[in-house]
């Protein structure tokens, strides 16, 4: 979602900001802007659409040593030039970019700014106008900034310029992510470290409700009372080459291909010196002392949670519930006496999940975050973290993070089981190794997958995924992948549910992608396929070796039956990729979507 960058120093500010915004493109946005300040004042450039359009609009001769930039994912007001950030106060003294949602902006406007005519439809503009109002009333800028922040309800990450103090970028955050990056004779601000990796790998975390004064030579963090807080920087362990596409046409394809490597890396990262899979004792104790695990997640991560439940329950015999984060807060089930909350989140920033975390912490419940991003909000705020080690995932459609989530959940299940004295029926390291090899085979089958996409999806307006048992959950993920990037209406169903309603939608030629990886339900799912074929459907069956039948569209390499989702999802990712490509869709940046969903 919205991304923020800022730079103060003697290099080419506008170029650093534009490059930073390009690195944030993956988060999803629909307009972008920058503001740079020099002796002649503040120069604002903003455009609807891609950064490339903004780049064209920026005066390439403009010199400046301080500026801020923003990619906007519309929440309040349509995507447009006027709603794009930065926004300025009435006198144009203050210029501000914001990520998040100011829930009480209408009330603030009514109460404090009845006579101010806003230029945009955004919640953000209210913030900058409020600030100017308080300064006009006689407050010093810092006091006015703090006072403004104290009135805001909702979430924010803010970077602010003051025309009358060209030596400082004012920064603050609450719930939305924001970091300060440190350099030699310059400093930067960024929604995530990737944006500014071009200039520094040294970052300082900002905590909620702090304000930070960023100048060329210093970074001063203050708490609500104005007291200075010391905080050591950390090194962002990101490899710049990880965030380049290389020779790949799309990040999504690169990330699909990285999956075998990621699985091998996870095996390595979770092995001790004797090659035994291991997880920190306190995490295993937390799992084993819980009477029930509540998995909280959204989207693809929720689908990983559904499979993870199978792993943990079957291996460690701990009961698990899986909940959609956005529903949980106001739809909380009756909790068990001693729950453990497990948050699954690629980005570690998903606002819906974070809001549950805040809520359950108030009750004193223990929490574990499984994330790809060390230092992310969900990681920092939970009691424990397990990392995915998948490397940055840039394409909006999650692929390698999903399989990494499954691998880490399987390890959690296996290690917890061992600690409970439950003998394992298989060697998980070895099985994950077999999976990595199987993934390689699947990643090499791109031509077959492209053909399947052509045969089944080129002209269809919808597509159904069916499966039974764990295949049902993989089908849900396959449907999400297909709909989000190709815009084909796709839904996943439990094979047995079709006859209870959905089968009414089957028409001549409706594509049905059926998964058949589970021996105990193989005959039943094939029965469901026959039912839809009898009504005209065009079936594409993806089965596991050993369970295949003559007309199956693709046969997966054999892996342990419990772990089949790790391989079964790959054809679905590739088929979705090619279906989107054939329809000329923007595969990496699908419409309306954001990578890091930082609003509730």
Residues that bind ligand F6R in the complex, under the rule CB under 6 A: 298-301, 345-347, 350, 353, 397-398, 480, 484, 597
Q: What is the DSSP string of 393-420?
A: --SSS--HHHHHHHHHHHHHHHHHHHHT
Decide: residue 110, CB within 10 A, 0-12 exposed, 13-18 middle, 19+ buried. exposed
Lookup: tokens for 472: 């049902």
Strand partners, 321: 294
The Cα–Cα gap between 442 and 473 comes to: 19
Q: Looking at beta carbons, which residue is closest to ligand F6R?
A: 299
Kindly tell me which of 553 and 587 has the beta carbon lying closer to ligand F6R. 587
Kindly tell me which of 27 and 87 has the beta carbon lying closer to ligand F6R. 27
Contact predicate 322/301, CB 8 Å: no
Which of 46, 366, 400, 595 is catalytic? The answer is: 595
- Taking the complex as a whole, the smallest distance from the CB of residue 397 to ligand F6R amounts, in Å, to 4
Q: How many residues in the chain?
A: 600
Lookup: tokens for 33: 């802007």
Contact predicate 71/27, CB 8 Å: yes
Which of 2, 443, 463, 585 is catalytic? The answer is: 2
- Taking the complex as a whole, the smallest distance from the CB of residue 73 to ligand F6R amounts, in Å, to 12
Per DSSP, the three-state class of 374 is coil
Residues in contact with 70: Cβ distance below 8 Å, sequence separation at least 6, in sequence order:
2, 3, 4, 5, 21, 32, 33, 34, 84, 85, 86, 97, 98, 99
Kindly tell me which of 397 and 587 has the beta carbon lying closer to ligand F6R. 397
Contact predicate 513/449, CB 8 Å: no
- Taking the complex as a whole, the smallest distance from the CB of residue 430 to ligand F6R amounts, in Å, to 28
Handedness of CA 577, 580, 582, 586 (dihedral sign): negative
The Cα–Cα gap between 600 and 468 comes to: 32
Kindly tell me which of 187 and 372 has the beta carbon lying closer to ligand F6R. 372
Catalytic residue check, 595 = yes
Kindly tell me which of 386 and 480 has the beta carbon lying closer to ligand F6R. 480
Strand partners, 3: 71
The Cα–Cα gap between 200 and 189 comes to: 11
The Cα–Cα gap between 382 and 384 comes to: 5
Catalytic residue check, 153 = no
| Cross-sheet strand order for the sheet of 228-229 | 87-88, 94-99, 156-162, 165-174, 211-214, 219-222, 228-229
Kindly tell me which of 187 and 301 has the beta carbon lying closer to ligand F6R. 301
Question: Pick from 187, 189, 194: which is nearest to 179 by CA?
Answer: 189
The catalytic site residues sit at: 2, 595
């Amino acid at each position: 979602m919205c991304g923020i960058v800022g730079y103060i120093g003697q290099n080419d500010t506008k170029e650093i900001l534009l490059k930073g915004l390009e690195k944030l493109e993956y988060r999803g946005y629909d307009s972008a802007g920058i503001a740079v300040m020099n002796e002649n004042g503040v120069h604002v450039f903003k455009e609807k659409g891609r950064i490339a359009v903004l780049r064209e609009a920026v005066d390439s001769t403009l010199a400046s040593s301080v500026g801020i930039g923003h990619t906007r994912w519309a929440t309040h007001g349509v995507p447009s030039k006027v709603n794009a950030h930065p926004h300025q106060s009435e006198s144009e003294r203050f210029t501000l970019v914001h990520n998040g949602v100011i829930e009480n902006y209408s009330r603030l406007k009514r109460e404090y700014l009845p006579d101010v005519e806003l230029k945009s439809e955004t919640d953000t503009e209210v913030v900058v106008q409020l600030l100017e109002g308080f300064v006009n009333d006689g407050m010093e800028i810092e006091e006015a900034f703090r006072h403004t922040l104290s009135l805001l309800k909702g979430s924010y990450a803010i970077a602010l310029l003051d025309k009358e103090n060209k030596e400082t970028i004012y920064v603050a955050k609450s719930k939305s992510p924001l970091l300060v990056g440190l350099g030699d004779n310059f400093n930067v601000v960024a929604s995530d470290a990737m944006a500014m990796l071009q200039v520094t790998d040294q970052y300082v975390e900002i905590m909620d409700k702090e304000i930070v004064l960023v100048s060329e030579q210093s970074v001063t963090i203050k708490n609500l009372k104005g007291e200075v807080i010391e905080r050591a920087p950390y090194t962002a362990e990101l490899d710049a080459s990880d965030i380049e596409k290389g020779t790949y046409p799309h990040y999504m394809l690169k990330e699909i291909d990285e999956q075998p490597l990621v699985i091998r890396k996870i095996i390595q990262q979770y092995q001790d010196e004797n090659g035994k899979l291991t997880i920190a004792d306190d995490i295993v104790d937390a799992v084993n002392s819980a009477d029930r695990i509540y998995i909280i997640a959204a989207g693809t991560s929720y689908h990983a949670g559904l499979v993870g439940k199978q792993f943990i329950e079957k291996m460690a015999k701990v009961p698990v519930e899986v909940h959609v984060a956005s529903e949980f807060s106001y739809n909380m089930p009756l909790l068990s006496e001693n729950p453990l909350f497990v948050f699954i989140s690629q980005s570690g920033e998903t606002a819906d999940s974070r809001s549950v975390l805040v809520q359950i912490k108030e009750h004193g419940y223990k929490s574990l975050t499984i994330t790809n991003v060390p230092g992310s909000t969900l990681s920092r705020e939970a009691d424990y973290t397990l990392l995915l080690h998948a490397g940055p995932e840039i394409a909006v459609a999650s692929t390698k993070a999903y399989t990494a989530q499954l691998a880490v959940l399987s390890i959690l299940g296996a290690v917890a089981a061992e600690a409970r004295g439950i003998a394992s029926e298989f060697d998980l390291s070895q099985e994950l190794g077999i999976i990595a090899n199987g993934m390689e085979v699947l990643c090499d089958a791109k031509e077959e997958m492209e053909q399947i996409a052509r045969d089944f999806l080129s002209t269809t307006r919808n597509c159904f995924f069916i499966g039974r048992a764990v295949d049902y959950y993989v089908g849900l993920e396959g449907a999400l992948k297909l709909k989000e990037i190709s815009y084909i209406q796709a839904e996943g169903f439990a094979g047995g549910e079709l006859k209870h309603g959905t089968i009414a939608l089957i028409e001549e030629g409706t594509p049905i992608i059926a998964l058949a990886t589970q021996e105990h339900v193989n005959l039943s799912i094939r029965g469901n396929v026959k039912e839809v074929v009898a009504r005209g459907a065009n079936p594409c069956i993806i089965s596991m070796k050993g369970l295949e039948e003559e007309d199956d569209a693709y046969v997966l390499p054999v892996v342990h039956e419990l772990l089949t989702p790790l391989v079964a999802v790959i054809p679905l990712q590739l088929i979705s990729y090619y279906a989107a490509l054939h329809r000329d869709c923007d595969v990496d940046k699908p419409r309306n979507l954001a990578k890091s969903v930082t609003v509730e």
